[in-house]
Amino acid sequence: QSVLTQPASVSGSPGQSITIPCTGTSSDVGAYDFVSWYQQHPGKAPKLMIYDVRHRPSGVSDRFSGSKSGNTASLTISGLRAEDEADYYCSSYTSSTSVVFGGGTKLTVL
């Protein structure tokens, strides 16, 4: 059982926006601005999309954005494209100096 809670699946049509929530506790997501998001296509290694809640690495589209409120972080993808269909994982630093991941969300582009 993953420490961070994500919906198993979300879906959207091309051009739409979707948001994936990631719920933790006051000992991880709520305690630090150290939430990151990863995209994983089938059979591929994960790719960092967002770090430190809202920062995008160089080369990541600005259609991807991150935010946080209390113990819940969110990843928003705007202008949905077919290539965005993938699994998405959140992760957070914790008060015990460890790193925890969410259970993952499968994004389907209809």
Partner 1 sequence: QITLKESGPTLVKPTQTLTLTCTFSGFSLSTSGMGVGWIRQPPGKALEWLALICWDDNKRYSPSLKSRLTITKDTSKNQVVLTMTNMDPVDTATYYCAQSRGVYSQSLNWFDPWGQGTLVTVSS
Q: How far is the CB of 31 from partner 1 (least distance, A)?
A: 11
Q: How far is the CB of 48 from partner 1 (least distance, A)?
A: 4
The Cα 80–Cα 92 span in angstroms is 25
Q: Which is nearer to partner 1, 14 or 57 (CB)?
A: 57
Q: What is the largest CA-CA distance in the chain?
A: 40
Q: How far is the CB of 57 from partner 1 (least distance, A)?
A: 6
What percent of the residues of the chain are helix, what percent strand, and what percent coil, each to the nearest 5?
A: 5, 50, 50
Q: Which is nearer to partner 1, 77 or 100 (CB)?
A: 100
State whether residue 84 is helix, strand or coil: helix
b/e per residue 59-91 (b: at least 16 CB within 10 A): ebeeebbbebeebbbbbebeebeeebbbbbbbb
Q: How far is the CB of 16 from partner 1 (least distance, A)?
A: 26
Q: In the complex, which residues of this chain contact partner 1 (CB under 8 A)?
A: 2, 32, 34, 36, 38, 45-48, 51-52, 57, 89, 91-93, 96-104
Q: Which is nearer to partner 1, 80 or 94 (CB)?
A: 94
